[in-house]
Amino acid sequence: MTFPAESLRLFCRQLLTSLGTSEAHAQIVGDSLVAANLRGVDSHGIQMLLVYIQQLRAGGINVPAAGRVVREDGVFLRYDGENGLGQVVADQCTDHSIRIAKAMGISVVVTNHSNHFGAGAWWGEKLARAGFLAIVTSNACPAVAPWQGKTAILGTNPLCVAVPALGGAGRWLLDMATTTVALGKLSHAAHLNQATIPKEWGFLDSTGQPTTETAAAQRGAPTPIGGYKGTAFAMLAEILSAGLSGGAMATELPVYRTGGDPLGISHCFIALDPKRLLPAGEFETRVGRFVDLVKAAEPAPGYEEVLVAGEPEWRCEKIRMAEGIPVPSKLWAKFTTVAAELGVTPPRPDAAE
Ligand SMILES: NC(=O)c1ccc[n+]([C@@H]2O[C@H](COP(=O)([O-])OP(=O)(O)OC[C@H]3O[C@@H](n4cnc5c(N)ncnc54)[C@H](O)[C@@H]3O)[C@@H](O)[C@H]2O)c1
């Protein structure tokens, strides 16, 4: 089934407001989730809303909260998310990040007591559009064993780095889980009824053995990207997010999807103004040239071209803006059930925007 982005945005807003969120907060969450779907990042698109709805219904989120500034000191700002919706907290933090970086050339904004903020790219791109090189991290509920360990201690802790672009066309945007793939890719595969997943996704079954069976992986766990280096990157994201914000770390966070417990997630947003180092526009030009140099590599056997981070998603975005967003019927069935319970009419799948 395919839906125009706008009808999914409206549907998300209606579901959220039916649970008591303000229209403005519902818009921030809905827009960011649908943007992930447009970019092909279905792991962090509307399927996440079902999890948020579960939390909201269980009383696990402070519905009206947008958080508050705890301390501001020069380029630094510490925020308390007060258990508000993760996207609402992240939106406030990135507004502060832009304000401070405009005045001071750099900003470091951290928050604790937040919730899942969706795809890092939405926040990285917001800062990059304002002209800053952005580094965005978050911790997440424990789901991954550290390298050489067996117990799930760390989250899939995302790391996003975005750079400003000339004329609005991004050239490089890294947005990744610190596990081989995001956990949500597995749920998406299950929603598509895919019995198997690629070996490269690196999932383990419940006994700790590598598996390509979707159901077995769902009972198991993801693995850190690139072995011990992935665990180090996950720890880096945790140190920047929870370490600096005073938030809960690793197993101090509850296991995700428990519903009523505040998750206590932390995020970090760093914005740097390249104009403080180079004449306006020169950094953006240099990044463009650098990307061209990398893409000039002769493709390896089996590939038609070299891609850089951000390209697959920007290409998908163009297609889905024109053709609509495909939603697996299994996922849609869950949404129609929840919508009926909340008295919301789901949109009809139909023509693209
Ligand atoms: N909020 C959270 O708690 C949380 C946790 C984990 C992940 N996430 C999100 O999950 C999403 C998906 O993460 P993922 O790691 O599965 O993404 P991914 O593996 O699909 O992509 C990771 C990065 O690799 C780049 N890439 C993909 N193919 C490429 C190629 N052929 N050549 C060059 N670069 C390429 C992408 O542009 C992207 O920047 C992200 O948006 C991330 O922020 C969020």
Tokens in use for 27?
Answer: 């818009």
Give the tens place of pLDDT for each residue, 132-184.
999 999 999 999 999 999 999 999 999 999 999 988 788 999 999 999 999 99
Does residue 353 surpass a pLDDT of 90? no
Query: Which residues, in sequence order, are CB contacts of 237 under 8 Å at separation 6+?
Result: 137, 138, 139, 157, 158, 159, 178, 268
CB 86 less than 6 A from any atom of ligand 1: no
List pLDDT tens digits, range 287-340. Answer: 999 999 999 999 999 999 999 999 999 999 999 999 999 999 999 999 999 999
Ligand 1 pocket mutation pick from 34, 139, 159, 175 by most atoms within 8 angstroms of CB: 175
**What pLDDT is recorded for position 258?**
66
Tokens of 297: 């590599």
CB-based contact 19:30 (threshold 8 Å): no
Interval 346-351 mean pLDDT: 84
Indicate whether 114 pLDDT > 60. yes
298 contact partners, CB below 8 Å, separation of at least 6:
none
Q: For 284, how many CA atoms within 13 A lie in the half-sphere containing its CB?
A: 17
In the reported structure, the alpha carbon of residue 340 is separated from the centroid of ligand 1 by a whole-number distance in angstroms of 33
Of all protein residues, the one whose alpha carbon is nearest to atom 9 of ligand 1 is: 119
DSSP track, 295-333: HTSPPPTT-SS---TTHHHHHHHHHHHHH-EE--HHHHH
Rounded to an integer, the average pLDDT of 332-352 is 91
Do 89 and 66 contact (CB within 8 A), yes or no? yes
CA of 313 to the centre of ligand 1 (A): 9
Distance 180 CA to ligand 1 centre (A): 9
pTM confidence score: 0.97
Model pLDDT, residue 230 = 98
User: What is the architecture of the domain spanning 65-178+225-296?
Assistant: 2-Layer Sandwich (3.30)
Name the fold adopted by 180-223. Wheat Germ Agglutinin (Isolectin 2); domain 1 (3.30.60)
How do the domains of the chain map onto residue ranges? Answer: 1-57+314-353, 65-178+225-296, 180-223
Mean pLDDT for the stretch of residues 113-120: 98
Coil, helix or strand for 134?
A: strand
Confidence (pLDDT) at 241: 98
CB 201 within 8 A of CB 156: no
Does residue 44 have its Cβ closer than 6 Å to ligand 1?
Answer: yes
Q: Answer yes or no: are the C-beta atoms of 160 and 178 closer than 8 Å.
A: no
Q: Report the pLDDT value the prediction gives residue 259, as an integer from 0 to 100.
A: 75
**Rg of the chain in Å (alpha carbons):** 20
116 lines ligand 1 (CB under 6 A): yes
**Per-residue pLDDT at 196:** 97
pLDDT at 266: 98
Closest CA relative to residue 243, chosen from 235, 251, 253: 235
The CB of 202 under 6 Å from ligand 1? The reply is no
Residue 257 has a pLDDT of 67
DSSP string, 4-67: -HHHHHHHHHHHHHHTT--HHHHHHHHHHHHHHHHTT-GGGSTHHHHHHHHHHHTT-S-TT---
Could you report the per-residue pLDDT of 240-295, keeping only the tens digit for each?
Answer: 999 999 999 999 999 876 678 899 999 999 999 999 999 999 999 999 999 999 99
| Amino acid present at 48 | M
Q: Reply yes or no on whether the pLDDT at 351 is more than 70.
A: no
CATH code of the domain made up of 1-57+314-353 = 1.10.1530.10
